[in-house]
Structure 1
Amino acid sequence: MRTISVITPIYNPQPEYLLAAHESLQAQKLPPGWTWEWLVQEDGNTDVAEVLLPLDDRIKHGTGRHGGVAITRNLALSRASGELVKNLDQDDLLTAGVLARDIAALTENDGVHWTTSRVLDLMPDGKLVGFDNDPKHGVLEPGDVLKHWQEHNFRLPVHPTTLCIRRDLAVMLGGWMAVPGSDDTGLLVAASVLANGFFDETVGLHYRKWPGQESAAGSKHYEAVEWTARMNLINERAKALQNLWSTVAGRWMLTP
């Protein structure tokens, strides 16, 4: 069986949200020959997720020192056995068929090494809210995402929390970037410089908006000095990768 590894960092979870995330994963139907594993990695050592979630051999629990979301995701990455790695935050919901679509995007398009999908915000009242500026369905060439991000005040054209990426590319880039917030942006931007990506116009995630989320409006996530520092670092790394790209005739020896 081929495996797609779903990575979920856990910290002080809302039980109903985590259980809903599990239900959305359990409902996924994968292509023949594929299975999923769920790397549930706690940022700390309380075993809270293991208490909340049902027994399932596909759920692989892990704990560690409290170190923040990027470190937590990378500890899960170290345990992932799948050739593909999919992000799922503890309070979000996968839509029906998204894992199958991710697998198709990464196995049926030559040279594609990461994929994202359309997102709808899930509001506290249950309403779903979309966006008007999604890119066209299909392949994203190296540099497309970075250029848009640089020209739109560090706003991405695709949502990084929907990322599904080849594990070898994620590992080569050091996993999720070690910054306090925007670690998923750091990984996506770096990957988008080195390899073709894919955007699926079908909604792949319901992104829950609620007051307790780490990136809620008005939270420390948007503190100006820190935000500027991490955006500058993500941008600097991306430009360094672009320069390195040009020294190897514009291509990397990445294999499917």
Structure 2
Amino acid sequence: MTHLITVITAVHPPSAPYLADAYKSLLAQELLAGWDWQWVIQEDGETQEVAPHVPEDPRISFGQGRQGRAAMARTVGLSRAEGEYVKVLDADDMLAPGALARDLRALTDDPAVGWATSRVLDYLPDGSTVGFDQDPPQGPIDRGTVLQHWLDHGYRAQVHPATLFVRRDLLLALGGWMALPASEDTGLLLALSAVSRGWFSAETGLLYRKWPGQVTSQPAHADEVEREARFSVIATRARMLASMEGWRFGGS
């Protein structure tokens, strides 16, 4: 019997050409015996511009739907997720070698760990990379640690939500990604931190592409009024989850 990891990707036309690089990074993954991946690609919209960039592979499931930004696309894509675990991979990013196996091992070794993250390198247009100089040490992350760090450091988490690897049942129990125009992955990360222990891998797990067309580089992403609204609802949700004694994963 083959066990599956569902890799889930939201894509829109500007990022579709980068799917080829994401696919190459998936093909390079070496998994534990008895495991394989399924790639769920969900277009945010219903255009004719994305499908030509979707590789032909029986392990790939491509879908389209009403436009609603990445949070909705990923959450709708979960309807086709067959894996016990879900790995986030944005259309313009690439997995580092060994990323899936390390994430999988972290969660299978400790059933009380609900999610995993890893070190990220920014992948710049000239091909060079830049790392984050404040990564936590490798190992378990206690419940609530990420939320507190985010609140204490100007709404910046010490681990990157674009690297999330999570138990599918836990992800669904939390409702998937938050219905926000941006920071939806941060909202999920903080909700996970509120109810479960996590894991951080110090080995690089993701190349995070920096390019002019990415959503986080657009002026609207930095609008102060919207930013404060996003962060307010993210913080309130996470605090409420943390305060609910019966809402714990793995007894953490």
For the superposition of Structure 1 and Structure 2, which TM-score range results when normalised by the shorter chain?
over 0.9
**Aligned residue pair count:** 250
Conserved? CA contact 2:9–2:91, under 8 Å: yes
* TM-score normalised by the chain length of structure 2: 0.96
Alpha-carbon distance in structure 1 between the residues aligned to 2:112 and 2:4: 19
Alpha-carbon distance in structure 1 between the residues aligned to 2:231 and 2:155: 7
| 1:238 matches 2:238 | yes
Match of 1:221 in 2: 221
SS in 2 for 1:31: coil
| 1:52 matches 2:47 | no
Alpha-carbon distance in structure 1 between the residues aligned to 2:48 and 2:99: 28
Alpha-carbon distance in structure 2 between the residues aligned to 1:150 and 1:52: 39
Match of 2:27 in 1: 26
Deviation at 1:16, TM superposition (A): 4.1
Q: Quick one: which of 215, 234, 252 aligns to 2:248?
A: 252
| 1:72 matches 2:73 | yes
Residue type matched to 2:225 in 1?
Answer: V
Match of 1:94 in 2: 95
Deviation at 1:86, TM superposition (A): 0.5
SS in 1 for 2:216: coil
Deviation at 1:223, TM superposition (A): 0.6
Conserved? CA contact 2:196–2:249, under 8 Å: no
> In the TM superposition, what whole-angstrom CA distance separates every residue of 1:131-182 from its partner, at most 9, and x where no partner exists?
1100110000101101100100110010000000000111010000111100
Alpha-carbon distance in structure 1 between the residues aligned to 2:54 and 2:71: 22
Alignment of 1:79-228 (within 5 A): 79-216=80-217, 219-228=219-228
Conserved? CA contact 1:40–1:49, under 8 Å: no
Alpha-carbon distance in structure 1 between the residues aligned to 2:12 and 2:226: 22
> In the TM superposition, what whole-angstrom CA distance separates every residue of 1:34-68 from its partner, at most 9, and x where no partner exists?
01000000011125333223321100001101111
Residue type matched to 1:208 in 2?
Answer: R
Conserved? CA contact 2:15–2:214, under 8 Å: no
Conserved? CA contact 1:13–1:90, under 8 Å: no
SS in 2 for 1:48: coil
Alpha-carbon distance in structure 2 between the residues aligned to 1:4 and 1:58: 11
Question: % of aligned pairs identical?
Answer: 49
Q: For the aligned residues, what is the CA RMSD?
A: 1.4
Alpha-carbon distance in structure 2 between the residues aligned to 1:101 and 1:214: 28
Alpha-carbon distance in structure 1 between the residues aligned to 2:89 and 2:244: 31
Residue type matched to 1:233 in 2?
Answer: V
Residue type matched to 1:220 in 2?
Answer: A
Alpha-carbon distance in structure 2 between the residues aligned to 1:252 and 1:116: 19
Deviation at 1:254, TM superposition (A): 4.2
Tell me, which stretches of 5 or more residues in structure 2 are unaligned?
none
> In the TM superposition, what whole-angstrom CA distance separates every residue of 1:68-95 from its partner, at most 9, and x where no partner exists?
1100010111210111000000100100
Alpha-carbon distance in structure 1 between the residues aligned to 2:242 and 2:195: 8
CA distance 1:9–1:77, shift in 2 (3 Å): same
Alpha-carbon distance in structure 1 between the residues aligned to 2:189 and 2:179: 13
Tell me, which stretches of 5 or more residues in structure 1 are unaligned?
none
Alpha-carbon distance in structure 2 between the residues aligned to 1:206 and 1:54: 20
Residue type matched to 2:243 in 1?
Answer: N
Conserved? CA contact 1:47–1:63, under 8 Å: no
CA distance 1:35–1:68, shift in 2 (3 Å): same
